[in-house]
Amino acid sequence: MSIHLDWPDCRNVRDLGGLPTAGGGRIRPGALIRSDGLQYLSAAGVAAVRRADVSRVLDLRSTAEVEQSPTPFTDDPLGHWIPVQDPAVPGPGMDTIVKVCNEILDQGPERFAEVMLAIAEAPPGAVVVHCHGGKDRTGMVVALALSVAGVPEDEIVADYFVTKERLAPWMAQQLADEPDESLHAEMLEFRDTRAESIVAILDHLRTAYGGPEAYLRKAGLSTAQLGLLRTRLTG
C-alpha cells in the first residue's frame, strides 16, 4: 500500500513505495511520489517537498496551465516540465474521460516515453509526478511506470482508486458550488475517480499495443532504458 504524505495545500500526495511487484519485490520507498497540482503550495508546503529528498518534480500539465498557474518549482532546478497532452487532443467535449485518456496515449507515446526517461534518469532522490488533480494524466504515467516495475494490475488499479478518497471533499465542494445540477453528470465524469477508468485504459494499452511495456517500446524506449526505470523504482 502506498503511503500518504502530508504536504500542506495538497490534497492527494502519496509515496508509492511498498507496492508489491512480481516475484516478491516492492517499489522502493522514496523513489516515486504522485501528487495533485503543486501550484497552491505555501512556504510550508514547499518546505515539506524539500524535506522529502525530492530530486525532480515532473509537471505533466499543458502550456496554458503552467503559464496560468506556475508552481514554486516551475523555475526551480528541481522542476521538469513535460506536457503529456497534445494541445490538438480535445478535452471534456468528448464522451468520457476514458476516451480522452486513450486519445492522449494514442497521440503522444513519445511524450510518455520522455516522462519515463525523466523518472529513470533523475538524480538520486524521489521523483514527484503531478498534473492538476493527480488523477488521470498522473494516473496514466504512474500506471506505465509501475507496470514496467512489475506491479500487478490489481495493485495499480487499487492505488489509482485511492485518489477518489483523497479528492472526495474537493469533489463534493465542486458539486455544491454548481447550482445547475444538469452539469453534475459531466463534472462527475471528468473530475471524479473511478477504478473502472484505469481498468479500461490498461485494457486499451493491452488491446492496441500489447500492454504498457510494449507501448513504451513502440514509443522508442530500449530494453536498457526500461531496465533502468525498473531498477530506479525497485533497486
Q: How many CB atoms lie within 10 A of CB 22?
A: 9
Backbone angles phi, psi at 75, to 5 degrees: -110, 20
pLDDT at 196: 86
Coil, helix or strand for 56?
strand
In terms of pLDDT, which residue wins out, 171 or 158?
158
pLDDT of 59 > 70? The answer is yes
Of 108-122, 168-182, 188-202, minimum mean pLDDT range: 168-182
CB of 72 closer than 8 Å to CB of 40: no
**Which domains are delineated in the chain?**
3-234 (3.90.190.10)
Q: Does the pTM of the predicted model rise above 0.85?
A: yes
pLDDT of 171 > 70? The answer is no
Coil, helix or strand for 61?
coil
Name 100's Cβ contacts closer than 8 Å, sequence gap at least 6.
Answer: 89, 90, 91, 92, 94, 136, 190
Residues composing the chain: 235
